[in-house]
Structure 1
Amino acid sequence: MIFFAESLLLDLSAVLVVLATTFIVFYKWCFSHWKSKGVFCLKPSIPFGNAGELVLQKRTIGLEFKHVYDEFKKRGLKYGGYYFFMRPLFVPVDLDLVKHIMAKDFAHFTDHVIHINEQSDPLSVHLFSLKGQKWKGLRAKLTPTFTSGKMRMMFQTLVDCSTGLVNVMDKFVMEKQAIDIKEIVGRFTTDIIGSCAFGIDCSSLKNPDSEFRQYGKKFFDTSVKDSIVRLLTLTAPEIFTVLRLSSHRKDVTNFFMNVVRQTVNYREENNIVRKDFMHLLLQLKNNVKITENDLGDLKSNKSDAEAALSMTELAAQCFVFFIAGFETSSTTSTFCLYELSKNTELQQNLRDEINRVLEKHNGKITYDAMMEMVYMDKCINETLRKYPPVPVHTRECTKTYNVPNSNVVLKKGSFVFIPVMGIQHDPEYFPDPDKFDPERFSEENKANRHSAAWTPFGDGPRACIGLRFGVMQTKVGLTVLLKNYKFTLNPRTASPLTLEPGSFVLAASTGVWLNAEKIS
């Protein structure tokens, strides 16, 4: 009996040795991918490849690929390779190559790298994740909903939400409390997007524990589990497809699907017309042709095209509009106010422009007034340069691609990660990159800089469709805040500012805390 047990143990040990050896050999074979193509890659290690700091949450994804960009750039390379576990990623460094991938050679890189499955993950079928002809068709259908005419239609909704912003700020000023500015502007943008995307009064400014606010925050949870899931949707999306897994939490999916279903049913039954994004989506669902200046109802002016949106697709568009709209805009506003609180002279320059422009418009915040605020545009653009909310753009090679001026061939299915944060902190394009300098975005400076040096919204056909709306709500929020309050840094704000490693969207790990003084 003892002999049998010892024999079994020896056999088991031998099997484990064989498995371990096979595992290591397979890993090393995978790690030969870039070398076989003559592409430089930092030395990978088992099991994480080059992604140890990223997976273990020691470094945010933006800083991880900035590090990779810097390493390639100092070697004079135009591109390089990277391994996420065994997955090879192509990382372009040269700006002409970046431009080719995102715009000029778009036919080879039509898709984002992200998981999508309508059955197991209904909220995943939004414009950002859709691929091929499905993306192309929906993009064409949605483009009319983001014209300047439609922005004007929704503008008053943004202004209406700003009343609650002033009320909340006044309370903090009166009580002389430190302000977690990301939380305040997050509640403001939640109210805006909730109103424009769902036609619902979220009341997040009045009630920070409102359902919309809570479920929005749940989506961006930075727990280890949620952070890993988000990483895998970008680097191993086939796992979710093959195993029919959802990349979204079940409670988040149920909440948004139910809200959309109830809103759609109510509006269609009562033929409700409202100046918001939901109304435009309902027109697409019901085959109603969208025109530039006429809002229209839900029944007349039928289009010849087939219905553009199913209920699931409609819900997914509302969801991504909500998630992308409230988080990226609040992130941009937060970092902009942080920099302006450090640089009070720049803050006053922007306040002077706000007062000057509003005086021309009888003190009213109007769409035309927002368009005239040139210095504000510079401040927002510089914030997006220094703190790009989405610090890495991804593309999937959809057709075999010969990298220009090289022998490197990217096969269909290859993943490309564009290091936005690295490029936008490169002193070659932005001297003294850690300095906050809005004048980098003067017309003269922009004209002298490569167009691919600043791409916070992406570039080419897959550039962010909602960028106008995002900038518009950021401008309204900053206008209201800087017109009414002077800001300085509170000691609770860490110096230097550190970034939350578990967050894909850039975020300060300990928050941005400000003091505010009411302007009489």
Structure 2
Amino acid sequence: MQNMWIIFLIIGLLVLGLLVLLIIAARYQRDYWRYLNIPHERPKKLWPIFRQIMTQTLSTEAMKANHYTAIYQKFKGSGPFCGFYALLQPRALILDRELIRQIMIKDFWNFNDRGLYCNQKSDPLSGDLYALRGESWKEMRQKLDPSLEGDRMSWLYGCLYGEAAELLLNVNSTLMSQPHSTVHIQKIMRRYVLSALAKCVFGLDAQQRLTYPLEDFEQMTEMALNSHKHGYLMNLMMIRFPNFCRMLRMRRTPKPAEDYFINLLTKIVEQRETSGVRQQDYLQLLIEVKALELITHQYESDKELSFHLQNELTAHAVVFLKAGYEQTANTLSYALYELALHPELQTRVREEVKKAIERHEGNISYECIQSLTFMGQVINETLRMHPITPYILRRTLNDYAVPDHPKYILVKELFLIIPTHAIHHDPDIYPDPEEFKPDRWSGPRDSLQEQGTWFGFGVGARSCIGIQFAQLQLRLALALLLSEYEFTLNSRKPLVDLEDGIALTLMPLGVIEPGNEERAV
């Protein structure tokens, strides 16, 4: 009996010691930046943190943008970075443009981790360019870069032009099916971008869509992008402790979405390889990358290598949905909103398109689209005011001492935030930042300045691999729509919230709306 009491006492002391260690660790975490004497945002009280964890309250992207902007404005000029806390975890918010260039370009080798969880063995669709890091990322990027160089875009132009023409038909049928000329522009843009990606990246032409309807493709895309296999706490665990979660074979892609995309591309690739027909789309370029890998790589068996490369090809294709579906549709929606808000700029773009078509003998060719200089400025300014992502997330691979600031050290595995939205709206960098001014991009471009102040498609080696592809989608849609319609704000419902939708009024050019006769003249 006495031995039992000794055992209970020892267990109690161990539990008590563990609790004390946890309290000390939590206390250290909460005072991490204070101990280092780095300017920082004070952490929340423990109770709000626990309540957020228990209620699984998630911050929206808009909430994060506002939070990071407030921290940026409060600590700008205090040093190369400042500290803050995400729950109990210390993080660094980058303030200095030179440090941004070092992180994104000069010393990129130490910051090529986006801090996302991936597990290629158990979750093949997570092993994409977005989530990979280190040598795995570098190898994949080198394989894919040649497939999306600028000269390839003219080869893909016909595929994208067909989808832009379908967009016009969709807009026209939408206007004919309703009694007024106001449309939810974002829904239409999302449909256009999704259809273009389905055709150009996944090979879903009209014939294939009889077997794989676009409605099913859209449903699985939404599942892959917006559904989470695990709850809030488990997803947090996967980000904080990725190696441990990989040992447990945890995954983040819903299984129905994974099966759908792998089966779809396996069958379409097999059809093309069997027929020998070479299609003029991006999927064909991925198939050629796969064929080269089959020759140059060694595996235990040809069948196992082919299976591995097919999963890799699917991950390459799905990353276009992750990085280009909502982002491109949102940018198009915002660009049309800003042009509707500034009719004089809309007229300038329309006139530029008209003159370019005349120069190219009435054809909206690839060269015609590429010559639209002012439209490029409009896109750049749209991405400045409404960045694709309000912040860039990175995680350090090794300890990094900030040059010329010996006190400032970015330790290994520290999460870094580059506050895109805050920098894009900094009046010291962009005068009148809340004004939509495409002409601010008309002068000579200072690439060194932009590396630390403009993040439209990212910066450096880890910038968006599909920049040229996205630009072509944006330019084609804007050119065709502005050639046929005038866009104005719906005065009854001028929404600028993408969750609720952007309501715009469309009027076919040459048609005078009752009450606007004087304006038309």
* TM-score, reference length from structure 2: 0.84
Mapped contact 2:72–2:95 kept (Cα < 8 A): yes
Percent identity for Structure 1 against Structure 2: 28
Q: Counterpart of 1:335 in structure 2: which amino acid? A: Y
Mapped contact 1:159–1:365 kept (Cα < 8 A): no
Structure 1 CA distance for aligned equivalents of residues 145 and 101 of structure 2: 22
1:21, CA displacement in angstroms?
A: 7.1
Mapped contact 1:87–1:235 kept (Cα < 8 A): no
Q: Secondary structure at the match of 1:90?
A: strand
Structure 2 CA distance for aligned equivalents of residues 209 and 191 of structure 1: 7
Q: Which of residues 188, 211, 214 in structure 1 aligns to 2:192?
A: 188
- Residue pairs, 1:99-138, within 5 angstroms: 99-138=101-140
The structure whose Rg is larger is 2
Partner of 2:5: none
Closer, same or farther: CA 231–125 of 1 in aligned 2, 3 Å = same
Q: Does 1:267 align with 2:257?
A: no
- Residue pairs, 1:207-356, within 5 angstroms: 210-221=215-226, 237=242, 240-287=245-292, 304=296, 310-356=309-355
1:380, CA displacement in angstroms?
A: 0.3
Partner of 1:66: 69
Partner of 2:484: 484
Partner of 1:168: 170
Closer, same or farther: CA 37–103 of 1 in aligned 2, 3 Å = same
Mapped contact 2:38–2:82 kept (Cα < 8 A): yes
Mapped contact 1:69–1:93 kept (Cα < 8 A): yes
Structure 1 CA distance for aligned equivalents of residues 417 and 131 of structure 2: 15
1:271, CA displacement in angstroms?
A: 2.0
Closer, same or farther: CA 235–435 of 1 in aligned 2, 3 Å = farther
- Residue pairs, 1:468-507, within 5 angstroms: 468-491=468-491, 493=493, 497-498=496-497
1:492, CA displacement in angstroms?
A: 6.0
Mapped contact 2:494–2:504 kept (Cα < 8 A): no
Closer, same or farther: CA 48–259 of 1 in aligned 2, 3 Å = farther
Aligned-residue Cα RMSD (Å) equals: 3.4
Unaligned runs of 5+ in 2: 1-11, 299-304, 511-521
Partner of 2:518: none
Structure 2 CA distance for aligned equivalents of residues 230 and 364 of structure 1: 50
Mapped contact 2:85–2:91 kept (Cα < 8 A): yes
Q: Counterpart of 1:185 in structure 2: which amino acid? A: M
Partner of 2:392: 393
Structure 2 CA distance for aligned equivalents of residues 51 and 377 of structure 1: 46
Aligned length: 485
Q: Secondary structure at the match of 2:428?
A: coil
Structure 1 CA distance for aligned equivalents of residues 384 and 258 of structure 2: 32
1:178, CA displacement in angstroms?
A: 2.4
Q: Counterpart of 1:69 in structure 2: which amino acid? A: Y
Structure 2 CA distance for aligned equivalents of residues 143 and 96 of structure 1: 27
- Residue pairs, 1:20-59, within 5 angstroms: 24-45=23-44, 46=46, 55-57=57-59, 59=62
Q: Counterpart of 1:218 in structure 2: which amino acid? A: M
1:265, CA displacement in angstroms?
A: 1.8
Structure 2 CA distance for aligned equivalents of residues 232 and 511 of structure 1: 34
Q: Counterpart of 1:252 in structure 2: which amino acid? A: A
Partner of 1:511: 501
Q: Counterpart of 2:158 in structure 1: which amino acid? A: Q
Closer, same or farther: CA 85–448 of 1 in aligned 2, 3 Å = closer
For residues 24-75 of structure 1, the C-alpha deviation after alignment (integer angstroms, 9 at most, x for no partner) is 54322211222222222211122666997995436533333222222222x6
Q: Counterpart of 2:66 in structure 1: which amino acid? A: L
Q: Counterpart of 1:266 in structure 2: which amino acid? A: Q
For residues 419-440 of structure 1, the C-alpha deviation after alignment (integer angstroms, 9 at most, x for no partner) is 1111111111111211111112
1:124, CA displacement in angstroms?
A: 0.6
Deviates more, 1:79-88 or 1:142-151: 79-88
Q: Does 1:197 align with 2:208?
A: no
Unaligned runs of 5+ in 1: 1-12, 289-301, 499-507
Deviates more, 1:389-398 or 1:345-354: 389-398
Mapped contact 1:378–1:442 kept (Cα < 8 A): yes
Closer, same or farther: CA 356–515 of 1 in aligned 2, 3 Å = same
Partner of 2:455: 455
Q: Counterpart of 1:81 in structure 2: which amino acid? A: G
* TM-score, reference length from structure 1: 0.84
Structure 2 CA distance for aligned equivalents of residues 235 and 378 of structure 1: 40
Q: Counterpart of 2:338 in structure 1: which amino acid? A: E
For residues 394-453 of structure 1, the C-alpha deviation after alignment (integer angstroms, 9 at most, x for no partner) is 222122210122222222222212111111111111112111111121224757955310
Deviates more, 1:462-471 or 1:208-217: 208-217
For residues 181-225 of structure 1, the C-alpha deviation after alignment (integer angstroms, 9 at most, x for no partner) is 111011111111111111103799999971122222334438998
1:344, CA displacement in angstroms?
A: 1.0
Q: Counterpart of 2:75 in structure 1: which amino acid? A: F
Partner of 1:292: none
Structure 2 CA distance for aligned equivalents of residues 127 and 66 of structure 1: 28
Structure 1 CA distance for aligned equivalents of residues 491 and 227 of structure 2: 24
Structure 2 CA distance for aligned equivalents of residues 143 and 236 of structure 1: 30
Q: Secondary structure at the match of 1:89?
A: strand
Structure 2 CA distance for aligned equivalents of residues 377 and 198 of structure 1: 28
Closer, same or farther: CA 220–51 of 1 in aligned 2, 3 Å = farther
Structure 2 CA distance for aligned equivalents of residues 220 and 493 of structure 1: 29
1:377, CA displacement in angstroms?
A: 0.4
1:172, CA displacement in angstroms?
A: 2.8
Partner of 1:89: 91
Mapped contact 1:49–1:83 kept (Cα < 8 A): no
Partner of 1:76: 78
Q: Secondary structure at the match of 1:416?
A: strand
For residues 452-486 of structure 1, the C-alpha deviation after alignment (integer angstroms, 9 at most, x for no partner) is 10012221211111111111111111111111111
Deviates more, 1:52-61 or 1:30-39: 52-61
Closer, same or farther: CA 170–477 of 1 in aligned 2, 3 Å = same
Partner of 1:147: 149
